[in-house]
Structure 1
Amino acid sequence: MTVEVSLRERKKLATRAALSHAAWTLMVEQGLDAATPEAIAEAADVSPRTFRNYFVSREEAILAGLVRQGTSLIDAMQARPSDEPLWDSLTQILPSFVDSFIGERDDIAVLMRVVGDNPGMRAQHLVTYERVNLQLAELIAERTGTDAERDMAPRLLASVLAAVLRTSVEIWAKGQTDRALTDLVRDGLAQVRDGLPILAPHPPLHSPAIR
């Protein structure tokens, strides 16, 4: 019985992933208007009713892959040595993780334009961002022995890390730098770890003595 349930769940996950991939591909290659629930279902070789069983909207389907990838981040963190400092683990994991799941720069640039132009996509993007933030908080809480619901520290750090990832991806996708995405993420983590030295207060300027 256990094997049967496991296989059923695997099939569900595969169907959900196929629908999400089809939705993403339609948006990137043909535009958001082409990514209707009916077109997504047809591309995934399922019925429109099946689509509605898995997603409430095309926007959710398009962005579902980004949330799904969060599980691989958890697995990567759990594989690190248990006595390794948290920041060292994050510095090792996050750059390569982002590089592997983000995909092509041109595709992310398309996504950013669509999010900027479409209120529905913008709202779903915020929901996706919050889900990734929650995954990070739970990951940090597990590693540090804290509670992601009651303790501020894992939630605050997760928000900071999510901001580093989001900012790095935006700069990279918009072509505002020639640097690799992994380098941007490493630099962002280093700046946060150092207390954002660029924002350090400067010594006060001395006004000339009034005579």
Structure 2
Amino acid sequence: MHNGPSLRERKKAATRAALAAAAVRLTRERGVEAATAEAIAAQAGVSARTFHNYFASREDAIVHHLETLVDTLLDTLEDMPRELDPMAALRQLLLGAASTRQHELADLVGALHLVEAHPTVASCNQALLTRTMDRAVRIIADRAGINGDTHIYPRLALGVASAAFNSAAEVWVRGSPSGRTLTDLVDEAFTRIADGMTAPGTDQNPRSQEPPWPPTSTA
């Protein structure tokens, strides 16, 4: 009877994850050139030789971190109740992640920014992007009962959900002036989409709590 990964395999997976997370963190904090194999290994508490046993480059480590986070989200999406329509499932997925896995989501945003900002990371990420998008399209198409190869809906739904989350995460990472949580912001983003993207100040959305802009003087 198979009892899952051995202790050795679990330790190797943990080391790989720690190195990948350290690569993302160092690159975000100090820049891509500072994220050497030695610096990444030191952050993870291992030797540079150990780093090279797991990854050929820092770009590989960053992409691995992104791949792990995205695959976990897609696994969860695939297992969600079948009665949820695709947009409801995506909303519930991202609200749940925002509530319980904020630090991982912040890392995901950071990794995506690195992919966009650095051509060497982007080139390593291309195969991952293609694979994960294909899988996500299949999941959404299956839930909607349509052909994902010929119907625009799966890619449109994923693009809208991604924009909703990214917009919320950007505000959250910068620090929401009204103290809203990431969950609040993701929920508002999906609510605004469902309401037809009415401009702030012209809607009656009780979730919208943005301070006025420009700020009024209190002097």
TM range (shorter): 0.5 to 0.7
Letter in 2 for 1:175: G
Per-residue CA deviation, residues 93-117 of structure 1 (Å, 9 max, x unaligned), is 21221344441899789x49x8499
Q: 1:29 to 1:5 in 2, by over 3 A?
A: same
Give aligned pairs, total: 195
Paired position in structure 1 for 2:139: 139
Q: Distance in 2 between matches of 1:106 and 1:154?
A: 25
Q: Distance in 1 between matches of 2:167 and 2:40?
A: 30
Letter in 1 for 2:184: D
TM-score by length of 2: 0.64
| 1:181 is the counterpart of 2:189 | no
| 1:68 is the counterpart of 2:59 | no
Letter in 2 for 1:183: D
Per-residue CA deviation, residues 11-33 of structure 1 (Å, 9 max, x unaligned), is 65434312202223434565544
| 1:18 is the counterpart of 2:18 | yes
Q: Distance in 2 between matches of 1:149 and 1:56?
A: 34
Per-residue CA deviation, residues 65-116 of structure 1 (Å, 9 max, x unaligned), is 233122332333344322233333233221221344441899789x49x849
Larger Rg: 1
> What are the within-5 Å matches in structure 2 for residues 94-133 of structure 1?
94-103=94-103, 111=110, 115=114, 119-120=118-119, 123=122, 133=133
Q: Tell me, what secondary structure is at the counterpart of 2:20? A: helix
Q: Do the aligned residues in 1 keep the contact of 2:148 with 2:154 (CA within 8 Å)? A: yes
Q: Distance in 2 between matches of 1:81 and 1:60?
A: 34
Q: RMSD of the alignment, in Å?
A: 4.1
Unaligned runs of 5+ in 2: 201-219
Q: Do the aligned residues in 1 keep the contact of 2:168 with 2:182 (CA within 8 Å)? A: yes
Higher share in helix: 1
Paired position in structure 2 for 1:41: 41
Report percent identity of matched pairs.
33
TM-score by length of 1: 0.66
Paired position in structure 1 for 2:192: 191
Letter in 2 for 1:182: T
Q: Do the aligned residues in 2 keep the contact of 1:115 with 1:121 (CA within 8 Å)? A: no
Unaligned runs of 5+ in 1: 200-211
Q: Tell me, what secondary structure is at the counterpart of 1:198? A: coil
Q: Distance in 1 between matches of 2:105 and 2:17?
A: 21
Q: Distance in 2 between matches of 1:173 and 1:151?
A: 34
Q: Do the aligned residues in 1 keep the contact of 2:106 with 2:173 (CA within 8 Å)? A: yes
CA drift at 1:182 = 0.9
Q: Distance in 2 between matches of 1:140 and 1:119?
A: 30
Q: Distance in 1 between matches of 2:20 and 2:125?
A: 17
Paired position in structure 1 for 2:152: 152
